[in-house]
Amino acid sequence: MGVVALPANLGAVADAADRSGRPARFEVGRVEVEVSNKKGRRRYRVAATDLRGLAVVEGDLLPDVGADGPDEVRAADASAGRALVAAAEFRRVFGDASRAGRDGGGAVLAALGENEATFGVADPRAEAERVTRLEQGRGLFPPVAATVQISTEGPPVASATVPAATLAILARIAAAFGDAVTIEFREPGRPLVLRAGTAAQTVTLIAQPTLPGAAEPATAPEPAAAVDVEPEPEPHPRAAA
């Protein structure tokens, strides 16, 4: 496959990996990186999991960055199409590239070899070129493709599109009140409701949906204006008699 260029934002995937360090059947403390060239389409897939949550990103490889990037990466073994590397180091390498490319760059050169994967910041504007060699994991990794296929098979019963930043904030709040969160869907256009808590304390979180084609999330309807209604006069006691 040769040396490839990967988007710097892939570092976020590493957050889904297991951080406990506990022995497990699968190498869940690592990130799986796969690259392919099928029918002329150069693609990547990056995945991480702690066996409770799974993050998978697929996309087209970045165009060749020419002479940019460390020569050490270009000279490294790139004969493999897959790497299984430590999540913490993967996160650091791609974080470096994100910071280096804030003004328009942000790529990582990767050479996936049989024994190690070599990564380097491809943006020439970086203050210093950093090359990282990571040992290839030899253990098992969960079957990503099969898991995605089984989990996404068939149409969803319900769905809602909300701003990612809003959902992340609400999820962090929910985590402060309980170990699990319940997500409630209603008819299209209605807010997404998240609930968490214990028998002694509960939290309700609401995320307004983003309507298709709209830049801003849908807003809740304005409450109806209060109308002052004068009470009907009570009948005079004599009239009632």
- Put simply, whether the predicted model's pTM sits higher than 0.95 gets the answer no
Question: If 0-12 CB within 10 Å is exposed, 13-18 middle and 19+ buried, where does residue 71 land?
Answer: exposed
Instruction: List the structure tokens of 235.
Output: 């009948």
Can you give the residue range of the structural domain that contains 83?
A: 4-149
* Count of the separate structural domains present in the chain: 2
Q: Is residue 238 part of a domain?
A: no
Model confidence over 156-166: pLDDT tens digits? 888 888 999 99
Q: Is residue 94 part of a domain?
A: yes
**Inter-residue contact 41 to 112 (CB < 8 Å):** no
Mean pLDDT for the stretch of residues 34-54 = 94
Q: Is residue 162 part of a domain?
A: yes
Do residues 170 and 135 both lie within one domain? no
The DSSP line for 4-22 is: EEEEGGGGGGGGGS--S--
Do residues 130 and 164 both lie within one domain? no
Q: State residue 95's pLDDT score.
A: 87
* Mean of the per-residue pLDDT values of the chain: 84
**CATH number, domain with residue 68:** 3.10.150.10
